[in-house]
A and B are shown apart, each in its own frame.
Chain A
Amino acid sequence: MTYELFDPQLVRTGASLCTLCGGKVMNGLNCTCCSMAMWLYRATQGRVKTTGCHVRDLTNDCTGGTNLRQMTVIADHYGVTGYRLYQPIDFDTLVGLIKTGRYGAILDLSYSTIAGGPYDRFHDSFFGNHAVYISGPYTSTTLRVGDPGAGDYASIPISLLKTAAGRLDLGGGIRLGYGKAYALLTPIDPATATTTYKAVITAPSSSPLRLYYAPDGAKDGAVTTATYTVTRSKVAGLWWYRIGGTGGNRGKYFKPNRYTHITVI
């Protein structure tokens, strides 16, 4: 089961006004803190459900943005162990870990790479250092990214994130360098005892069962009649079944509906 929370940063995308430090509105400064709220929910398997504003309050920092080092203090505050702060990590190594489906991460990046393009959520008005929370894979070439400044999770190309991470401004005009990333990795999700099910699918051709690359991920084919061995997980409150076995749809996911008959093996 993947625990996933979205914490908006800006009032215009659903956040409450975050007034701290004697009356200062902090929303625009809180992307790292909001990413941390999402990170904490994943890292604690849903036990810690807080907001970026509260995280910001815990930092006791009233000046400018925040950094990943400050977030390790917050992780310690909540008793999280087993996380890792990378300054830096090889970007491809980080993506490999994310693609296992058992980690989330806060990724630092420069928005200058994203601004003006199709994934720009700030209408070409922001070009600085930014932090986003990565929840998992979306397709083989995209990740499921929670940008606190946006309104929800989105699928963003790995290649774009790699360039943006490498453009992170370390100060004085020094960029981190292509292929590297500053990231705060969650502890690995606990292994769960897995129950295996038999899924018999008998859908009409007019309404085939949609398959997905990942839970809430991209559509990846459809079937009408099939029998699979599957495992089950809950993502954002919904059950998803992952196809096992050795067939061509191995590893794909589907949501149960009236055309799926599922029994414990």
Chain B
Amino acid sequence: MDDPNNGTPDPEAPPEPTDPQDPDGPKNDPIPETDPASETAAGTEPQP
């Protein structure tokens, strides 16, 4: 059978997953909705 890739691995073929180190994996952490930059712009910096 012809091998169009001459035996080289197919770069578009993903590897099969291995057994997970951690079955579930870590959850993402919460991001603050308030933007510190906009707080500064809105004048919420502590007053001297």
Contact = CB atoms under 8 A, between A and B. Distances in A.
Nearest to A109: B28
Contacts of A88: 21
Secondary structure of the B contact surface, majority rule:
loop
A79 interface: no
A10 B38 CA distance: 14
A152 interface: no
Interface residues of A, number: 47
B31 A87 contact: no
A128 B31 CA distance: 8
Size bin of chain B's contact surface: 20 to 34
A163 B18 CA distance: 21
A74 to B, nearest CB: 14
B28 A67 contact: yes
B23 interface: yes
Interface stretch (A24-32, A39-47, A136-144, A230-238): A24-32
21 contacts: A29-B28, A29-B30, A29-B31, A69-B23, A85-B17, A87-B21, A89-B15, A89-B17, A93-B15, A96-B11, A100-B12, A122-B35, A123-B35, A126-B29, A128-B28, A129-B27, A129-B28, A130-B29, A149-B31, A170-B21, A170-B22
Interface of A: 9-12, 25, 27-29, 31-32, 64-69, 84-89, 93, 96-97, 100, 102-103, 108, 122-126, 128-131, 149, 168-171, 176, 182, 185, 188
